[in-house]
Amino acid sequence: MTLKKQFVPSTLLFGIFLLLSSCSRKYVPDTTYSVEQIKQDFKLMRHALEESHPGIYRYTSPDSIRWVFEQTEKLLDHPMTELEFRRTVNPIFSYIRCGHTDIYPSKGYSKYIKKNKPKEFPLGLYYVENKLRILQNRTDDTSLVVGTEVVSIDGQPAADIIAKMRQLVPSDGYNQTFKTTVINGNFGGFYRYLYGNKETFEVTVQDSLGKKRGLKLSFNKPPKPTKKASIPVKTASNQPTKTPVATPKLMVKTNPKLRTLKLSEKDSTVAILDINTFSDDRYRRFYRRSFKALKTQNIKHLIIDLRANGGGKSDASINLMSYLLDSNYTVYDTAAAITLRPSYQHYYGHKFPRWFTRYFWSKKLPDGRRSSRSAQRVQKPTRRYGFKGKVYLLTNGGSFSAAAIFPSMIQQYNPRAVVIGRETGGGRHGCNAFISPYLTLPHTQAKVRIPVFKLVLNIPGADIGHGVQPNVPIEYRFEDVRKARDLDVERAYELINASKSEK
């Protein structure tokens, strides 16, 4: 019998064994792990980050990173559950200052939570203008009106709670808009993660006249699942629902979950391209048909909405650039990995083939790093349907990864483009990405996401650790959020009208 024939059935039997073993194990969230076990998980996590994270010292010095690891390890002095372990080590990732690096629940924990829905936080809270306010009241207390300020919860000032939550949200460099976006989108979930499912908690609120009062609240029962709307409406978690724009004609058949292209009802020379994600593979045909339609219908002004776009495939954003730039362009200055053969790669499981492929599609640099061969490729603008009109990019803290790379390049190399909104959640000069596999820790089974390549964009100037700064900054007040105003779109139309009056 050949080695190949011997290998196939043995592999099959091993797979069946793993399947049966996993089915027989029922996840128990209260399971505790010994000090030795959690320290082994911690040491593997630290070793993996120090050995292969390409940007671990990009914004934080080695001494500071070492100090954070050492201080955190001292806290691992008693048995912990998986949740307690993750909560303890979570702040480390804020010091690394990489939005693609974080710790996630184990598969068992995720399945358990999906089956056993957690209780719902009784208030929809929104942090803006340095105040935590009630945006939605899910209690029976009708005296709690929208806009009421929450001063403290269980005696902890709201500002302190927000500060603790910020430590749980990694972001690129020193960016804060991404953190605010994430927290505003799930304050209740972060509060539960920090403090657990308390039966009751004390809330101190303050009305518009400055009068304070205390309330005792409890988590609500999990909300019942509702039927999805036939056409989902995209909302950014750090801003109000976008102003609906009636469209006399849908220019290109689209999937609203992914992207839409619509004519503006207000102005026949304006179109709105709403890109919700860059993660879908079927983008080339959509872009080609969209920009063909823009040319056919003589569109002069294009609003591109990247708010709440968490990124996805860099190729999708690079291809979109080709319709908006007039000359050849190179997106990346460098894209380098410390190693493509890490000593712990078996903890990535099935991800090994991707490591193997990337190794042979890279070249060795003088300093020992591996550089992607395709990253510095010169890109060419599209010949037939390039857009020559004015471009208005809408961004906010939810514009991350590829959705930050895109406005960075367009702002720099398209003189007809203007960025409106708030600082992007992703870095202006790059990030750590391309491949971001998950390392499974052996005991708790928690997953650590570690990017492989450090990406430096072909953008002049020093990297100061911030996102793309808008040419036209827009800040929301709570009243704007409450009324669901879309100040970004409003400002875009003001600029369009102003440009017409100048002619």
Average pLDDT over residues 279-297: 93
Q: Which of 1-5, 23-27, 494-498 has the highest mean pLDDT?
A: 494-498
Query: How distant is the alpha carbon of residue 53 from its chain centre?
Result: 18
SS3 state of residue 109: helix
Number of CB atoms found within 10 A of residue 34's CB? 12
User: Do the beta carbons of residue 278 and residue 316 sit within 8 Å?
Assistant: yes
pLDDT for res 342: 86
**Residue 335, amino acid:** A
pLDDT for res 316: 96
Give phi and psi for 49, each to the nearest 5: -65, -45
Residue closest to 476 by CA, chosen among 420, 432, 431: 420
| pLDDT of residue 228 exceeding 50 | no
Torsion angle defined by CA atoms of residues 63, 68, 69 and 73, in that order, rounded to the nearest 10 degrees:
140
Query: Quick one: tokens of 212?
Result: 């304070």
User: Residue 503 — very low, low, confident or very high, per pLDDT cuts 50/70/90?
Assistant: low
Cα(415)–Cα(327) distance, rounded to whole angstroms?
A: 12
SS3 state of residue 228: coil
Cα(249)–Cα(271) distance, rounded to whole angstroms?
A: 11
Q: Which has the minimum average pLDDT: 304-313, 334-343, 419-428, 488-497?
A: 334-343
User: Do the beta carbons of residue 272 and residue 245 sit within 8 Å?
Assistant: yes
Per-residue pLDDT tens for 371-410? 887 788 999 999 899 999 999 999 999 999 999 999 999 9
| pLDDT of residue 11 exceeding 50 | no
| pLDDT of residue 502 exceeding 90 | no
**Residue 450, amino acid:** I
Cα(474)–Cα(471) distance, rounded to whole angstroms?
A: 10
Mean of all residue pLDDT scores within the chain: 88
| pLDDT of residue 72 exceeding 80 | yes
- What whole-number percentage of the chain has pLDDT above 70? 86
Q: Which residues of the chain does CATH 3.90.226.10 include?
A: 259-435+451-501
User: Do the beta carbons of residue 362 and residue 457 sit within 8 Å?
Assistant: no
Helices (H), 312-373: 314-321, 352-360
**Residue 332, amino acid:** Y
Per-residue pLDDT tens for 80-118? 999 999 999 999 999 999 999 999 999 999 999 999 988
Paired with 298 in beta bridges are none
Per-residue pLDDT tens for 143-157? 899 999 999 999 999
Angle between helix 158-166 and helix 177-185 axes, rounded to 10 deg: 110
More reliable by pLDDT, 366 or 246: 366
| pLDDT of residue 246 exceeding 80 | no
pLDDT for res 120: 86
pLDDT for res 181: 97
Per-residue pLDDT tens for 34-63? 999 999 999 999 999 999 999 999 999 999
Cα(137)–Cα(125) distance, rounded to whole angstroms?
A: 9
User: Residue 239 — very low, low, confident or very high, per pLDDT cuts 50/70/90?
Assistant: very low
Paired with 164 in beta bridges are none
Cα(83)–Cα(103) distance, rounded to whole angstroms?
A: 11
> Kind of pairing, strands 447-449 and 438-440?
antiparallel
Average pLDDT over residues 29-34: 96
How far apart are the two ends of the chain, measured CA to CA in Å? Answer: 83
| pLDDT of residue 13 exceeding 50 | no
Paired with 492 in beta bridges are none
| CATH 3.30.420.40 is the classification of domain 259-435+451-501 | no
pLDDT for res 229: 31
Residue closest to 421 by CA, chosen among 298, 239, 200, 166: 239
User: Residue 354 — very low, low, confident or very high, per pLDDT cuts 50/70/90?
Assistant: low
Number of CB atoms found within 10 A of residue 349's CB? 11
User: Do the beta carbons of residue 433 and residue 100 sit within 8 Å?
Assistant: yes
| CATH 2.30.42.10 is the classification of domain 123-217 | yes
Per-residue pLDDT tens for 409-459? 999 999 999 999 999 999 999 999 988 999 999 999 999 999 999 999 999
Average pLDDT over residues 280-307: 95
Q: Which residues of the chain does CATH 2.30.42.10 include?
A: 123-217
pLDDT for res 494: 97
Among left, alpha and beta (phi > 0; psi -120 to 50; other), residue 463 is beta
User: Residue 346 — very low, low, confident or very high, per pLDDT cuts 50/70/90?
Assistant: confident
Query: How distant is the alpha carbon of residue 205 from its chain centre?
Result: 31
User: Residue 364 — very low, low, confident or very high, per pLDDT cuts 50/70/90?
Assistant: confident
pLDDT for res 335: 92
User: Residue 240 — very low, low, confident or very high, per pLDDT cuts 50/70/90?
Assistant: very low
Radius of gyration, CA atoms only, the chain: 25
Helices (H), 220-303: 284-296
Number of CB atoms found within 10 A of residue 29's CB? 12
pTM (two decimals): 0.88
pLDDT for res 231: 28
Average pLDDT over residues 315-343: 94
